[in-house]
């Protein structure tokens, strides 16, 4: 969705590069040796609220969240058979799809996306959509590689994103830095 040439290339000269940590190496091993269900290394998760959300303000909050949350700027590349990671200084999401679902469409769409592998070496570390649910709710869906986040980190992402949104929309205090 947001593939960019920069993400397919090695990091810029002078960028600090890190080896994968042991848990990331295990996740990568799982990907390498899973033949039928490559989605084992990603976390698809959504949150729905019945409080109206201004998706334009939420997009601004998302870009602030990307700036605040290193996990959203973590990138990977492979060199000589080894995997490495680095952080982008800046990354901005220009377009977030906003989808309105019927009952059948919501389950089918989110399930299909959850089954579609995240291509962390081909310009994609996460996919995100905003949606209106079939029952009038407002939702945020993220599908992110497990190399960047675990389930607890996704919860922190949602919590911080909504805190930033509340700051922008309602003037509440900005959440504490992560």
pTM for the model: 0.86
- Per-residue pLDDT of 89-127, as tens digits, reads 899 999 999 999 998 899 999 999 998 988 888 768 999
- Per-residue pLDDT of 53-95, as tens digits, reads 999 999 999 999 999 999 999 999 989 888 999 999 899 999 9
- Of 165 and 8, the one with more pLDDT: 165
Q: Is 116 helix (H, G, I), strand (E, B) or coil?
A: coil
Determine the Cα–Cα distance for residues 49 and 62; give it in Å rounded to an integer: 17
Does position 6 have pLDDT exceeding 60, yes or no? Answer: no
Alpha carbon separation from 55 to 19, 121, 135 (Å, rounded): 37, 29, 17
Instruction: Report the chain's terminal Cα–Cα distance, integer Å.
Output: 26
The torsion angles phi and psi of 79, rounded to 5 degrees, stand at -145, 125
Question: Which of 12-21, 59-68, 97-106, 131-140 is predicted least confidently?
Answer: 12-21
């Amino acid at each position: 969705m947001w593939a960019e040439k920069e993400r397919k290339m090695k990091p810029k000269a002078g960028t600090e590069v890190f080896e994968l940590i042991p848990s990331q190496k295990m996740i990568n091993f799982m990907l390498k040796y899973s033949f039928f269900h490559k989605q084992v290394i990603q976390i698809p998760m959504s949150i729905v609220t019945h409080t109206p959300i201004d998706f334009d303000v939420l997009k601004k909050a998302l870009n602030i969240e990307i700036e605040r949350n290193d996990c959203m700027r973590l990138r990977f590349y492979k060199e000589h058979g080894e995997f490495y990671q680095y952080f982008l200084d800046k990354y901005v999401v220009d377009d977030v799809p906003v989808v309105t679902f019927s009952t059948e469409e919501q389950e089918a769409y989110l399930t299909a996306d959850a089954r579609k592998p995240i291509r962390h070496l081909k310009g994609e570390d996460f996919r995100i959509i905003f949606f209106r649910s079939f029952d009038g709710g407002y939702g945020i869906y993220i599908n992110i590689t497990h190399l960047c986040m675990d389930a607890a980190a996704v919860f922190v992402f949602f919590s911080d994103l909504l805190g930033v949104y509340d700051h922008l929309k309602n003037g509440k205090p900005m959440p504490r830095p992560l």
